[in-house]
Amino acid sequence: MNIYPAIDLVQGKAVRLVHGDFDQMTIYSDDPVQVAKDFLTQGAQFLHVVDLEGARDGEPRNEGVIARIIQESGLIVEVGGGIRDKETIEKYLAMGARQVILGTAALEDADFLHDAVDIYGESIVIGVDVKDGFVAVEGWRELSDMRLDTFLQDLSAIGVGRIICTDISRDGAMAGANRDMYRELVEEYPVRITASGGVSTLDDIRALRHIGVEGAIIGKALYTGGIDLTVALHLAKGEE
């Protein structure tokens, strides 16, 4: 199982929100590039970066610092937040991002989604944010009428290879991963599932590895000391 340390960006700073609420924001670092380098030092290989303002506003807001993270961190970087057109996909890939994450656009623009998967293949990851069984959009501010199971069936049918599924109710709340949901997703859908939201203990890491998810994204727990990244990386490999 892969471990993806997370850096969420607002105004060029590394922050964490609670349930996606900008009014519940904690700034953890004014230097996200150094945060990324520290993750590398602790043994990380991958990095999950989200432009929170981009997700909220529908267009990138932190491209400069994202470019520096990609170019200077030494990590394999995936980027999400406000990616709604081919130009933005190509811009991030040209910067050196390994993958780009489509969220709102994947749900609201079927033609764009199909084209992106056809053209960019494995470089496209779909971020599915869920609350009470429905998919949320616009930086989690709106709940769509699309059910999670229906959306995942559609994504599987068009050949999406990897999906990041975030339980909004647990994100940033240190409430533990929604293990039952991920178990069900792994059993029912022929895509690689990455767990996100509420991953807050080493027991979460053990459980998710046994469930069979592709990876786990860890955010707040790394910044608060709830999870030691080096230990988590070993557990993800089955090294107790």
Residue 164: predicted pLDDT: 97
Which of 189 and 168 is assigned the larger pLDDT? 189
- What rounded mean pLDDT belongs to the chain? 93
What span, in angstroms and rounded, lies between the C-alpha atoms of 175 and 110?
A: 33
129 noted as active-site residue: yes
Task: Say how many residues make up the chain.
Answer: 240
Task: For the chain, give every domain's residue range.
Answer: 2-236
Instruction: From the candidates 8, 167, 171, 204, give the one annotated as an active-site residue.
Output: 8
Run of H or E including 27: strand 21-29
Residue-wise pLDDT for 97-152, tens only, equals 999 999 889 999 999 999 999 999 999 999 998 988 899 876 556 788 899 999 99
User: CB-based contacts of 168: which residues, under 8 Å, 6+ apart?
Assistant: 19, 20, 129, 130, 131, 136, 140, 197
Burial class (CB in 10 A: 0-12, 13-18, 19+), 98: middle
Question: Quick one: average pLDDT of 70-92?
Answer: 97
pTM of the complete model: 0.95
What span, in angstroms and rounded, lies between the C-alpha atoms of 210 and 186?
A: 11
51 noted as active-site residue: no
Residue-wise pLDDT for 231-240, tens only, equals 999 999 998 7
Residue 240: predicted pLDDT: 78
Check if CATH label 3.40.50.1820 holds for domain 2-236. Answer: no
Residue 20: predicted pLDDT: 76
Instruction: From the candidates 51, 129, 167, 171, give the one annotated as an active-site residue.
Output: 129
User: CB-based contacts of 192: which residues, under 8 Å, 6+ apart?
Assistant: 161, 162, 163, 213, 214
For residue 36, pLDDT over 80 is answered with yes
